[in-house]
Amino acid sequence: MASGQGEVVIYPINNYSFGSKEAKKERDNSVPARLERLKEKYAKEGIRHSVDAIILVYEHGHPHVLLFQVGTSYFKLPGGRLRPGEGGRCHVCQSMVSVWLI
C-alpha cells in the first residue's frame, strides 16, 4: 500500500495469519496439454487480461515477498485472469481471500 509518491509501507509478517487448503486437482496432466487448452481458449475468447500483485512483508528486519505455492515446486504471485468488467485490485483481493484464507 503506497502512502505517498515513491514510498511503500511494509508491514511485519506477524500481522498476517496463514492457513492451508486441500490441493486443487490440475486440469492438465502435462505442459503440452496445458498449452493446447490455452490455445483453444485463446481462439475462442481472444486476448486474456491478467493482474499480479507483489506483497512485501518483513521479518527480522528483512523484506520478503509473499507467494502462492502451487504443487511441490512451483510458486507464483497472487492474481490471475480478469473477467470482463473486473478491476485488478478487486481481483487480487478476492484471490488473496480465496487462496490465502485472509
38 and 59 Cβ atoms separated by less than 8 Å: no
Mean pLDDT along residues 77-98: 71
State the pTM of this model.
0.55
- Provide the grid cell at 48: 486474456
Paired strand residues for 64: 57
Task: Name the amino acid, one letter, at 59.
Answer: E
Question: pLDDT per residue over 17-61, tens digit each?
Answer: 777 777 777 788 888 998 999 999 899 988 888 888 788 888 888
Report how far residue 85's alpha carbon sits from residue 24's, in angstroms, rounded to the nearest whole number: 26
| Beta strands per DSSP E along 1-102 | 2-4, 7-8, 11-12, 50-52, 55-59, 62-66, 68-70, 74-76, 79-81
